[in-house]
Amino acid sequence: METFVIFRLQGWKTPQELELAAQRSAKIGNEEMPDRVRWIGTYVVTEPDGQLGTVCIYQATNPEDLREHAAKVGIPADEISPAVNTVRVRPDPDLAQKAEAA
């Protein structure tokens, strides 16, 4: 499997919509495509119009499998790019705790 970055732009209006999509995504990936698609992690961003978008890290056999997965889940896959390297300066901060404290 290769590592890919997926940009999903303006996919959700509310955090609840995003949570439901995440549940469907995990279920379909884990149950229907476990040997072709693995969800590694996601950053959620607020788009300029207030909708939510995501930057997702996946492992997959190819971009077509990622597009198939997105279609099955009903989520966008606006741009899929292979990751060629990882540069870590520091561990990811715990954004979930930051959001809860706000």
Q: Is the pTM of this model over 0.75?
A: yes
CATH number at residue 38: 3.30.70.3090
In the chain, what percentage of residues exceed pLDDT 70? 92
- Is 102 a domain residue? no
Q: Which residue range(s) make up the domain with 54?
A: 2-85
CB 39 within 8 A of CB 28: no
Higher local confidence (pLDDT), 100 or 52? 52
The number of domains in the chain is 1
- Is 78 a domain residue? yes
- Is 92 a domain residue? no
SS3 95: helix
Q: Which two tokens stand for residue 37?
A: 């698609």
Q: What is the pLDDT of residue 45?
A: 94
Tens digit of each residue's pLDDT (9 = 90 or more) over 50-83: 999 999 999 999 999 999 999 999 999 999 999 9
- Is 58 a domain residue? yes
